[in-house]
Structure 1
């Protein structure tokens, strides 16, 4: 059991930093709502562009704005 916990403790930062790097390098992903229908109709998620920001990028922008507004 201790080896599983140690493995998780070692792998979690690697996976987290990898996802942060991925979101920084490519903040926009395809819209799942539009790509499944293969139609570029106007949807609320992407406004018909077919691209929407990733969850990690949305979280980064939210925290950046929160910090900026809190330090003014």
Structure 2
């Protein structure tokens, strides 16, 4: 085989596998833990350090970015085919 062909195959296969892996992860596990509250669902105030509900999440989990993109395109397609 030509070394250029081998390099081209490797350079196209690796990003495709990473993309498909992330898409599979978004399909199987659509939620991830919130980075702000570390999955507890509560943050503390700056002055008195009282616990408050996290503004970013409801229960300590957030929807992954890839899943939000998938839901957006799925909603667009379903509205267009009505």
Question: When the two structures are superposed, what TM-score results if normalisation uses the length of structure 1?
Answer: 0.78
CA–CA separation in structure 2 for the residues paired with 1:8 and 1:43: 41
More helix by share: 1
> Does the alignment pair 1:14 with 2:17?
yes
Deviation per CA, 1:16-49: give whole Å up to 9, x if none: 111111111100000011118x6613233213x1
Match of residue 25 from structure 1: 28
Runs of 4+ that moved beyond 2 A: 5-8, 41-44
CA RMSD of aligned residues (A): 2.0
- Corresponding residue pairs, total: 68
**Offset at residue 8 of structure 1 (A):** 2.2
Decide whether aligned partners of structure 1 residues 8 and 35 sit closer, same or farther in structure 2, where only a CA change above 3 A counts.
same
Q: Is contact 2:41–2:60 with CA below 8 Å preserved after alignment?
A: no
Equivalence for 1:42: 53
Structure 1 Cα separation of the partners of residues 57 and 73 of structure 2: 21
Unpaired runs of 5+ residues, structure 1, are none
- Flag the structure with higher strand content: 2
